[in-house]
Amino acid sequence: MGDAMKQRFSKGDLIEMDGMLGAVVEIEDGGDPEDLHLVVWFGEPPTQRISKGGTAGTPPIVWLVPAEYCLPAQPPTIKH
């Protein structure tokens, strides 16, 4: 794993873990390159637009997961 795994992922990357899509928020190596973890946001909690009755200021839920469980995601479909 080590440096090769660390170079495989960057902040902002889209990843897939067990079929779930996520975004890399941070990379944690804990000083041990064999213990590489990613801080990932999986889109939680679900939110609603303010214009549709939702509220602002909801804190995101992020998860610390071993990098070895993650794969790069497929390229996204971009919509406007």
Q: Can you give the pLDDT at residue 30?
A: 76
Q: Can you give the pLDDT at residue 3?
A: 54
CATH of the domain at 33: 2.30.30
Answer yes or no: is 44 within a domain. yes
Q: What is the DSSP letter of 2?
A: H
Answer yes or no: is 78 within a domain. no
Domain with 53 in it = 2-72
Measure the CA–CA gap between 30 and 10, rounded to whole angstroms: 16
Task: Using the Cα atoms of residue 22, residue 23, residue 25 and residue 31 in order, give the sign of their dihedral.
Answer: positive
Q: Can you give the pLDDT at residue 32?
A: 74
Answer yes or no: is 79 within a domain. no
SS3 73: coil
DSSP per residue, 13-51: -EEEETTEEEEEEEEE-TT-GGG-EEEEE-SPSP---GG
Answer yes or no: is 32 within a domain. yes
Q: How many domains does the chain have?
A: 1
Answer yes or no: is 16 within a domain. yes
Q: Which two tokens stand for residue 25?
A: 């928020």
Q: Which two tokens stand for residue 32?
A: 């041990």
Q: Can you give the pLDDT at residue 33?
A: 67
Tens-digit pLDDT string for the chain (80 aa): 445 555 689 999 999 999 999 999 999 987 776 789 999 999 999 899 999 999 999 999 999 999 999 999 999 999 99
Answer yes or no: is 80 within a domain. no
